[in-house]
Amino acid sequence: MLTEAVAAALVGLVALWLVLRPLLGPPAPPDLVEEPVEQDETPRGVALLALKEIEFDRETGKLSDADYGYLKDRYTAEALDALRMEDGAGVPDDVEALIAHRVRALRFAAAPAPPGAPSCPSCGPRPEPDAAYCSTCGGRLPAPAACPRCGFALSFDSRFCEGCGNRVAA
């Protein structure tokens, strides 16, 4: 009976120690798992896939020779730039800098926003036509001055257009 009580006390102490250890001790550093980048997701892979696609499109008759020449020159230059970047020249080490660069490139490459689309004062036009808040910075977007459908003047707190009934704010 005494041995069972001692064994139960030891098991209870071990269980208590396992439960309280994360709370009392310093947190263990997380295991960082670095996933390999897919070959098709690298700039070099994207450019090479684009070259294969335009070659296929030309062979199937979807691209004219002039378009093929233009696109081949463009994607060949991108592939060469990507190969130079892989050699270590001009590769930033900071992941945040890479992301910011990509966001800026995508933002400037995007088509201009349609008239009446919401626009953030700090981030520019938003891709969501019914956005009330900026998807980048989280700031409240200014209300549109006129209905995008009928052009009727809207008041500051309008949720629906008084002229056509179109929803203008979320």
Last residue of a domain, one of 73, 88, 103: 88
Report the half-sphere exposure of 13 (CA within 13 A, side-chain side): 6
Residue at 132 is within a domain: yes
pLDDT reported for residue 29: 73
Has residue 151 been placed in a domain?
A: yes
Residues of the chain with pLDDT under 50: 89-91, 111, 170
pLDDT score at 113: 55
Domain containing 124 equals 116-170
Examine residue 146 and state whether it is found in any structural domain, yes or no. yes
Is 128 in the same domain as 169?
Answer: yes
- Give this prediction's pTM: 0.32
pLDDT at position 13 is 94
Please, are residues 75 and 47 in contact by the beta-carbon 8 Å criterion?
yes
pLDDT, residue 130, reads 66
Give the count of domains, the chain: 2
In a domain? residue 62 = yes
Query: Is residue 47 domain-resident?
Result: yes
> Whole-angstrom Cα distance, residue 51 to residue 37?
20
Is 111 within a domain? no
